[in-house]
Amino acid sequence: MSLNRRNFLKSSLAATTAMTLPIPAFAADVLNVALIVPSPAADVGWSHTLELGTKALEAKYGDKVKVTLLENIAEGPDADRIMNKTVADGNTFLILGSFGYMEGGLKLAKAHPEVSILHASGYKTAPNFSPFGARYYQGTYLMGMAAASLTKSKKLGCVGAFAIPELITSINAFTLGAQSVDPAIEVSVVWVNSWFDPASEQQAAKALLAQGVDVIFSNAQDTPSVIQTAEEAGVYAFNLNSSMKAYAPKKYLGVVGTDWAPYFLQSVDAHMSGTFKGASAWLSMADKCVFVADWNPDIPADIVTKITDAQSKLESGAFSPFTGPITDQSGAEHVAAGVTLGDDMILSMDWHVKGVTTPLPK
Amino acid sequence: MTPLLQLKGISKRYGGVQANSGIDLRVDAGSIHAILGENGAGKSTLMKLIYGVEVPDDGQIIWKGQPAHLSNPSDARRLGIGMVFQHFSLFETLTVVQNMALIVPGSKAALSARIRDLGARFGLTIDPRAVVHSLSVGERQRVEILRCLLLNPELLILDEPTSVLPPPSVALLFDTLRALKAKGMAILFISHKLEEIRDLCDTATILRQGKVTARLAPRERSARELATLMIGRPMPPAVHPTPQGLGEQRLELARLDYLNDDPFGVSLSDIGLSVRGGEILGIAGVSGNGQQELAALISGELTLPGSHRDCVRLMGLPVGDLGAAERRLRSFAFVPEDRLGRGAVPDMSLSDNALLTAHSRGLVRNGFIRRQTERSFTADCIARFDVRTPGPHAEAGSLSGGNLQKFIMGREMMLDPAVLLVAQPTWGVDIGAATEIRQRLVAMRNKGAAIIVISEEIEELFEICDRLHVLHKGRLSPSLDVARTTVDEVGTWMIGAAA
Amino acid sequence: MRLKLERRDAASRWATVAAPLIALGLAILTSLILFAALGKPAGQALYSLLLEPFDGWYNISELLLKMGPLMLIAQGLAIGFRTNVFNIGAEGQLIIGAICASALPIYFPTATSVWMLPAMIGLGAAGGAVWAGLAAGLRTRFNANEILVTLMLTLIATQVLNYLLLGPWKDPHGFNFPQSVMFPDVALLPILLPGTRVNISLLAALIASGLAYVIMRHRFSGYQLLVGGLAPRAARYAGFSESRAVWMSLILGGLAAGFAGACEVAGPLGQLQRSVSTGYGYSAIIVAYLGGLNPLGIMVSAFLMAALFIGGDNAMVSADLPVAAVFVFQGLLLVYYLGSLTFIRHRITFNGMGRA
């Protein structure tokens, strides 16, 4: 091919003299960061919080960092090609926003040792490839306490994306938190098998409402459908990642939020100083990643006190929701009294605690 | 007196073909003017120019003394020109009255009433609620004529209007046209039926190869003279078959009943007929009395349940439940009444259209099409049946109606079938070609083929057939020996008056 | 004076060449304005969209990788479209093909037989054909509309895939993520062009194109399908079986889509996962029509559509275009192209002036 980018730009410059043409600067002193997410980066949800995290990079480093957002990238061969393309274009720091990018990302990491990659919610690690995730369960435990104080039917519900350990732990902690206030609480779950499917999510929420559920946990949806449906039905609801209070001004229970800025900043610092090391990062309240906010004023004062108390213990690391005795759905004791589950056990959790009435899909 | 319509030096060229060249024409109010010419002589093009469908390359159209620019048919209709086309422009999925309402203003109820009224006056009876796709070719033409009359035109163009009408209706139509003329309307009448023209028209313009070759008063000339002027050479002689020895039974229908699901279609009851080798059997009758259904039942496009397979016997074997392909394998061939879209694929070349039914004649080997054989078969057909076309590669849709009919007829005849079914063999075909087609049918019969001709033209049937049946409202008359029957007797059966 | 479209006597050669160029020019012009309004680098965006997919060996190899399944499926579908059998469910047939092919490596993850790959592809193609055959059976037996049936079968196929990936076929060590184990090496297609991801399925797509050409140009069975599409009454008149046309169309379309599905899991994916198809089954419909339902045209249109898809992704990476702007550009190009196609068979005349 005789045409390369540079002489094409020259020729097209002639045609577009009236426009300024900012040619991407790939100078050595600028770090090019690419963020790849599977859904459209809307105003709320998972992709949005990742985008906010990269904004913090730009805020701190200014012209030294340039972030490219690649949204709506389906997992599979296309994503592999696009990742390759970002590296070929001079991006040396990649943030992969979906589990499905794992195999392609690992291949890329091996081929390009100079590139550092952060990969959301995976389980494989390489010297320049770090999986990262958030301990949502710390927040959902607190939400469970609040939900138990507001439910009348003693039935809580959850619309879940995929039955993966990350989401299972969130549901279990939510259930345990609720049972810490009222041991009779039960939780039903509907899995929609999608991160982004407003219609199915709405249907799932309606199915839960029909069962008499009066607090709903929107577990890892990137749309406000569940929250909106709950608001219309006059039922409390909460979600993960970013606040959706705007969609449910009256019945919004709160948000288990994530702030990726500290982790991204720390990783980019390490990359710039050449000390980046691939390692699993499972970020907690203590890491300033997981937080709870936008509490509903309906929560009784005594419960608010209890929640604040539990929150400070979670932040200090003095307390873990997965401390025995914990009984599983079959009624058997899964965690003995006094034992706290280690991270590896939580990360591979494939069972529900007693009180979750829906069996886990196998 | 200022002529109603005058053309001066009109020319029109399509690609490489000069369709009209320097044509002058004058039509006066209160007269019936004939346009005579063979297929391809440029009659239809000239009419399209007058009706605004096409714009002339050169020349002037003058309407009541004023130059007129007709860029589309609605311009022409506004001036007061109406036209009935040879190929119909009706929406098949709409009813008769819905089709009318697209052009004619007025409520549907009022229109329906006018349709019934006009239909009764001109013998063009039609149910305004009938859906067009369920109508026969003849019935559709009635709709076209009625639609024009609804607009009260000053000049009415009729392109071969009588070809599908039964004799009593032709007479009625002529009465109507004369009445319209008496009211001051001008009529441009295109026909190849010379007797009709001599009967009806005051003046005539004859076209040959896009040019005017004569202007005359048809009543002062003989039909033979007119024909010679039209085709540029003496007329081929008419054929009258001499009786000959009959062969074995080839096709037999017995106690054939067919119940049509279509509410506007025709059901057949108790049909019985038989054809032997070496004879031509005619099916007379007005279109829409079950001809389409009868032809489809014989061809295998409609099949009977296995329990009734005996109702149709081909070469002595029951075939009622066999499809068209299997009947063709048993030496049956068929020329349908509609050529474009049924007898031929308009968007395919003549070569590929030969393949449609002639594939068994060595045009396909091991499932592969043999292009060479296909082309030579087609070239042979074009040459032997005098099809006027650039060659085997020409698209079927580009041929005139008569030429395409010759091609299809040629293709089916070249299959050398034991039984040949032909529906409306000369409909829309000019007089020279029609005579030729009839001659070939007779020649085939003389070689021992069994032939069934379904036609609305009684004269044609009398000319070539040995025996006749008349189809009326789905029932078949007894067999009538042509030598011993009369046009009057057949006409009586056609309108269902005979008991 | 009025503008009027007039049908040409024959397709214009000049317009055939000019139409895509005019479409491209108009699309570039419109998007220059659009990109400028968005404040994006227009030159860079157009370079990424239009030229970069062809710039260099690596880019072209990615183009070939994307083009393979599009071409394969489109060839299968076009045969049916030409006889008015509208198989809209190639996406579902592809998914079923991928599932059937995946069964082998999932149940025999440690297999080493060289027959693994041919068996997978055979199963995949057969699976796609059976899935499409359901629609053919319903159409010929009960006159059920194949457009609706194939579309609905796609939804069912997606649910079958979900069920398998969330249940029995889930990777036991995959932390409950909905995907299968990675396939063993014997279940992966050999790479055709060293150093790229292009595997031998591209050859299969090219062979399929050749077969489609032979069927539609030289086989009597293909001719019968053409007649059925162009003039159904002529097909009935000649006695060409309509149900045979329906079966043949759907089975061929299903075979091609199932084959493509098998090649995806045995090719770039290397496992069965939820995003086994990124809309290949639907894009192939556009490819088939852009290629004029002609086997040679489809080879060109598959190549161009692949370039358009990849160019769109490139523009997001290199020119920071939002994904919606990319869709707008792709849509513009298609709309202008389809519009300009009119001029191949028609010309504009200025009416009322008389033709000079």
Q: Can you tell me the ipTM of this complex?
A: 0.79
**pLDDT tens-digit map of A87-110:** 988 899 999 998 889 888 998 999
C230: nearest CB among B71, B345, B359: B345
Q: Cα–Cα distances in Å, from B425 out to A154, A265, B407, B428, B471?
A: 86, 89, 12, 9, 17
Domain ranges of chain A: 23-134, 136-259+288-347
Task: Give percent above pLDDT 70 in chain C.
Answer: 94
What's the CATH architecture for A23-134? 3-Layer(aba) Sandwich (3.40)
pLDDT given at position B70: 87
In a domain, B469, yes or no: yes
pLDDT given at position B165: 64
Q: What is the DSSP letter of C293?
A: T
Q: Looking at the structure, do residues B125 and B260 belong to the same domain, yes or no?
A: no
**CA B497 – CA C292 distance, rounded (Å):** 57
Q: Do the Cβ atoms of C220 and B369 come within 8 Å? A: yes
pLDDT for C185 beyond 50 = yes
Closest CA–CA distance from residue B313 to any residue of chain C (Å): 18
Looking at domain A136-259+288-347, what is its CATH homologous superfamily? Response regulator (3.40.50.2300)
In a domain, B499, yes or no: no
For testing the chain B interface, which of C143, C219, C220 should be mutated: the one with the most B CBs within 10 Å?
A: C220
In a domain, B425, yes or no: yes
Provide the chain B residues 317-336 that lie in CB contact (below 8 A) with chain C.
323-328, 334, 336
Q: Is C264 on the interface with A (CB under 8 A)?
A: yes
pLDDT given at position A25: 43
Domain, as residue range, for C75:
69-294
pLDDT given at position B240: 64
Question: Would you say A9 and A70 are in contact if contact means Cβ atoms under 8 Å apart?
Answer: no
**pLDDT tens-digit map of C200-217:** 999 999 999 999 999 999
Domain, as residue range, for B415:
249-494
What ranges in B123-246 are assigned the alpha helix state H?
137-149, 167-182, 194-200, 223-231
Nearest to A20 by CA among C201, C88, C44: C44
pLDDT given at position B169: 67
Q: Looking at the structure, do residues B307 and B211 belong to the same domain, yes or no?
A: no
pLDDT given at position A123: 83
Closest CA–CA distance from residue C323 to any residue of chain A (Å): 7
Q: Domain end: B231, B259, B287, which one?
A: B231
pLDDT for C350 beyond 70 = no
Phi-psi region of B413 (alpha: psi -120 to 50; beta: other; left: phi over 0): alpha
Domains A23-134 and A136-259+288-347 share a fold: yes
Provide the chain A residues 342-361 that lie in CB contact (below 8 A) with chain C.
347-348, 350, 361
Report pTM.
Answer: 0.76
Count of other CB atoms within 10 angstroms of residue A331: 8
In a domain, B257, yes or no: yes
**CA A244 – CA A255 distance, rounded (Å):** 8
Residues of chain C neighbouring A70 (CB-CB closer than 8 A):
313, 316-317
Q: What is the DSSP letter of C267?
A: I
A193: nearest CB among C55, C166, C318: C166
Q: Kindly report the backbone phi and psi dihedral angles of residue C253, in degrees, each rounded to the nearest multiple of 5, phi listed first.
A: -60, -45
Closest CA–CA distance from residue C17 to any residue of chain B (Å): 21
Provide the chain C residues 275-294 that lie in CB contact (below 8 A) with chain A.
275-276, 278
Angle at B138 between CA B35 and CA B440, to 5 degrees: 70
Count of other CB atoms within 10 angstroms of residue A38: 23
Closest CA–CA distance from residue B20 to any residue of chain C (Å): 15
In a domain, C302, yes or no: no
In a domain, C48, yes or no: no
Q: Do the Cβ atoms of C177 and A99 come within 8 Å? A: yes
With cut-offs at 50, 70 and 90, classify the pLDDT of residue C98: very high
| CATH code assigned at B107 | 3.40.50.300
pLDDT given at position A109: 93
* Chain B / chain C CB contacts < 8 angstroms: 80
**CA C9 – CA B180 distance, rounded (Å):** 39
Structure tokens at A321: 């929701």
In this structure, the strands spanning B312-314 and B249-258 are: antiparallel
Q: Is C54 on the interface with A (CB under 8 A)?
A: yes
Nearest to C306 by CA among C23, C53, C51, C98: C53
Number of domains in chain C: 1
In a domain, B444, yes or no: yes
In a domain, C20, yes or no: no
In a domain, C305, yes or no: no
In a domain, C153, yes or no: yes
Q: Do the Cβ atoms of A76 and C278 come within 8 Å? A: yes
Structure tokens at B337: 């009444």
Number of domains in chain B: 2
Residues of chain C neighbouring B368 (CB-CB closer than 8 A):
218-220
Q: Which carries the bigger pLDDT value, residue C336 or residue A175?
A: A175
With cut-offs at 50, 70 and 90, classify the pLDDT of residue C3: low
A85: nearest CB among C176, C314, C323: C314
Is B497 buried (19+), middle (13-18) or exposed (0-12) by CB count in 10 A?
exposed
In a domain, C34, yes or no: no
Q: Do chains C and A touch (3 or more CB pairs under 8 A)?
A: yes
Count of other CB atoms within 10 angstroms of residue A8: 18
Q: Is C30 on the interface with A (CB under 8 A)?
A: no
In order along its 499 residues, chain B shows pLDDT tens digits of 688 999 999 998 876 678 888 999 999 999 999 998 876 788 888 988 999 988 899 999 999 999 988 888 888 988 999 888 766 778 888 999 999 888 888 888 999 998 888 877 766 678 899 998 877 666 777 788 788 888 888 999 988 777 666 666 677 778 878 888 887 889 999 877 788 888 899 999 998 888 898 899 989 988 888 888 887 777 666 666 666 778 889 999 999 999 988 776 789 999 999 999 999 999 998 777 899 999 999 999 999 999 999 999 999 999 999 999 999 999 999 999 888 899 999 889 999 999 999 998 899 999 999 999 999 999 999 999 888 888 898 888 888 778 899 999 999 999 999 999 999 998 777 777 888 889 999 999 999 999 999 998 888 899 899 999 999 889 999 999 988 888 878 878 877 765 4
What ranges in A1-152 are assigned the alpha helix state H?
5-15, 46-61, 77-88, 102-111, 136-150
Q: What is the average per-residue pLDDT within C95-124?
A: 94
**CA A91 – CA A118 distance, rounded (Å):** 13
**pLDDT tens-digit map of C241-273:** 999 999 999 999 999 999 999 999 999 888 998
CA dihedral C244, C245, C250, C255 (to 10 degrees): 80
pLDDT given at position C8: 65
Q: What is the average per-residue pLDDT within C4-13?
A: 65
- Per-block average pLDDT, block size 10, for chain A (362 residues)? 41 38 52 90 84 93 91 85 88 92 91 93 90 95 96 95 89 96 95 86 94 94 90 95 92 95 95 92 93 94 94 92 92 91 88 93 72
pLDDT given at position A22: 38
**CA A215 – CA B497 distance, rounded (Å):** 85
Provide the chain B residues 30-69 that lie in CB contact (below 8 A) with chain C.
55-57, 69
Residue type, A185: I
Structure tokens at C144: 């059920």
